[in-house]
Each structure stands twice: as C-alpha cells, then as structure tokens.
Structure 1
Amino acid sequence: MVLDLMLIGLAIAADPLPLTAFVLVLSAPRGIWNGLVFLLAWLASFVAVLAAVLLTTGGEPPAPKSPPSTASLAVRLAIGVGLVWYAEHRHRSGHRSRRRPKPSGGMMTRFDRISLWTAAGLAPLLQPWGLAAAGAATVVHADLSHTASYVALAGYCLLATSSLLAMEIYATFAPDSARARLGQLRTWMQAHQDQALIGGSLLLGLYLVGRSIYQLTS
C-alpha cells in the first residue's frame, strides 16, 4: 500500500494542470493569501476523501479475496486502464491540443480578479480526481491499528501537495525572485504539458494495471 500511495501522490504532485493554475494564482494580486487558501482547500479535499474511505472500512483492511477487497482492486484496474487509454488518446490528438489557447492574456486578467472564495473553489475543481480515486481505492487496504498506516496516509497527502507547498513557501519568503522563476516555470509547463500528461498517465496506468492483475490473480 505504501509504495502505491507514494507513486500516486508523486503523480498528483507533478500534474501540470493544477501546477499551472497555482502559478497563476500566486502571480495575481494577493497571491500569497489566495495560494494559502488554495492549498488548504486542496488538502481538505484529500482529507475528506480519505476520511470517507476510512469511515466506510472502519480502519480495517478487508480480507484478501473478499468482495470489498476484490472490488477495490477492480476499481484500481479500471482506473489504470483509463489512464493508459487517456495517454494514448492524448498522444493521438496531440496536434489538436497544441492548438488550444494557453492560459495567458484573458485568463491572466481573470486571475487578477481572483478572490479567496474563488481560489478555494478552484482547488477541488482542478484536482486530478482520477488519480485521487486510485489513491482512495488503495486506502481501502489501510490498517489503522498500525502507526505505519497513519504515517503512510500523512505522507501521501503531503507528497501530493508538495509541489504546491514548495511554490507557496518560495513565493512567501522570496517574492521578487519567485515572480520571475514562477513565470519561467509556467512557460515551461505550458510547452511540455502534453508530454508530462501522456508520460505520467501511461506509466502510472501501466503500474496500476499490472499491480491490480497480479493481486487479483495471486
């Protein structure tokens, strides 16, 4: 479970869509406060999903080969297949996605008027819910009678938030330097967004498919 959660958390942290949006949030007026609210809402979404799963299981992993255990593995398998399909579909339609307008110009103007409530609403909206669902299906196997499970869950939440948290801290303590560096980062992510989405989705999808099939058949 720990390895699966860490890989999923890493994939969430590297997702270019919320990263690009968060850079725009930080670049807007009152960006530090808006970024903080975005972060808190982002974490709250993760905690809410984990809490819902753990309340359902009672903090006890289902027995191997039981219907709940098989169902959670089937969900992860379906998500893995979906990620592989998405990577292939994105690759085939790459020429169309490259013609899409980048989040600049008019979007930057809209982000200049962003409020705290809007920042809070953007966080759950921009979360990669497919990956979050894979994490939730993995958390079904958490055993809260062991301290290691609490550490794994906390590590998963922090890892999934690590890239946003690093940018928030950087912008808070080095605002002048951060403004230029985050602008460069936004430009780079826009140029490499498709490659990151395709590569990340394909690798994690193949891992989830292989891991789920192995656990279902062993």
Structure 2
Amino acid sequence: MGKVLGDVLGLAAGVAVSPLPVIALIIVLATPRGRVNGLVFTAGWLVGLSGLGAVMLVIGGQGSAGEHGQPADWVGALKLALGVALVLFAVRMWRHRPTDVTQARLPRWMAAIDGFPAVKIFLLALLLSAGNLKNAPLTIAAAASISASGLPAGQQIGALALFVVVASLGLLIPLGVYLVMRERAKGTLANWKEWAARHNIAVMAVLFFVFGLKLLGDGVGVLSS
C-alpha cells in the first residue's frame, strides 16, 4: 500500500499544479454568483478526476497484477506511452512559450466564462480535469498504478479518493480562501491569477517534462522486471 501511495501522491501533486484550472476558477469566483459557481466548478473537477480514475480501475481490474505481485506488462507499456507523449508536449510548449512573460495571453475562451450558466461551468471543469493534456495522462497513470497493485477493491477506491483530494488542492485552496475571506480575497486571488497567466506555459512545460520522465522511468522499470 505504501509504494502505491508514493506513486499516486507524486502524480496527484502534478495534477494539483495546474495554472489554467486555477485561473478559470478565479474568473468563476468573480462572477455575480461566485460562491455557487465556484462550488459547481469544483464539483465538476472532482467528478472528472474521479470518473476517469474509476474507469481506469474498472478497465484494469485485478488482472493488472502480474506474476510475483509485479504490474502487468500493459501497465508498463501504458506508462511508457504516456511518458513519451508528455515529454513531446513539454518540448513543444517550451519552444512556443512567450519570451516576455508580460506579453502572455490567456486563451480566448476564458473571456466568455463570465456569461457561462452553471451547466457550462460544470462541463468546463469536467473538461479541464478529465480532458486536460497533462491531468488526464497523470490520472490514468495513477489509476493504472492503483489497479496494478493487487490491493482489495476497498483499498483501491481509498487510494483513488486520496489521489483526487490531493490533485484538487490547487482548486480547493483558492476556493477556501474565497469562502472564508469573500470580498477581502479578491486582491489575493487577482494576484494569483496574474502570476498564473504569465507563467502558465512555462510551468506546464516543466511539469510535462518532469512527469513525462517519471512515467518513462516507471514504464521501463515495469517492462524490464
């Protein structure tokens, strides 16, 4: 159980450090119904991560554990493929990062968030969690590690729940600041938003590269064992 949690928590930290979802949440919190919309956004995020992880657990099942308790070869191949994809994304993003961070621009779709109804806010969060180019591979890799552990179903669900909570800290912290401080939180959240907007691409590129290498190492280790 300890080894699984070590793998899972590292991947969860990678998901938690996601600038774009944080920026999106801060924009949502600034809407007229900020409290409700913020809770809806966070719920969509949690459902996205939980759903993707649960699907992976079902696909893997107990068959993910190979001989002598080692993960099955397909788990290693999956991590290897995800690692390659993340490294390639990292290189591409780094090459296209703005040389002057003051010129960094947010995606155009973010300008429309102010007018989103609750359903669209929920679906946006769902997409940013389960459909994100960094978060989805890391969530799949974490669920694959859990599935390959051979742990009882209850412990696997518990490990996935822990992953989701840790992976959501990047959103839960600003949401908590807003709920506690309300109007006083606007300045703090605005500063976080500005920093995240300026450094989003560089941060994502570094995270892609670091966790891509980790998954590559994990995949090679499984396939060579």
Q: State the TM-score bracket (shorter-chain normalisation).
A: 0.7 to 0.9
Matched, 1:143 2:150: yes
Matched, 1:37 2:44: no
Unmatched 5+ stretches in structure 1: none
**Secondary structure in 2 matching 1:174:** helix
Equivalent residue, structure 2, for 1:114? 116
Unmatched 5+ stretches in structure 2: none
- Deviation readout 1:59-82 (Å, 9 max, x if unpaired): 56422499x821121111111111
Distance in 2 of aligned mates of 1:65 and 1:82: 30
Evaluate the alpha carbon distance shift between residue 142 and residue 31 of structure 1 in structure 2; reply closer, same or farther with a 3 A threshold: farther
Matched, 1:192 2:193: no
Distance in 1 of aligned mates of 2:38 and 2:115: 14
Instruction: Give the alignment partner of residue 130 of structure 1, picking from 127, 130, 137.
Output: 137
Matched, 1:159 2:166: yes
Tell me how many residue pairs correspond in the alignment: 215
Deviation (angstroms), 1:164: 0.7
Assess if the C-alpha contact under 8 Å between 1:73 and 1:137 holds in 2. no
Equivalent residue, structure 2, for 1:208? 215
Equivalent residue, structure 2, for 1:177? 184
Evaluate the alpha carbon distance shift between residue 6 and residue 97 of structure 1 in structure 2; reply closer, same or farther with a 3 A threshold: farther
Which amino acid is 2:192 matched to? L
74-83 vs 128-137, which moves further: 128-137
Q: CA RMSD in A?
A: 2.6
Which amino acid is 2:177 matched to? Y
Which amino acid is 1:209 matched to? L
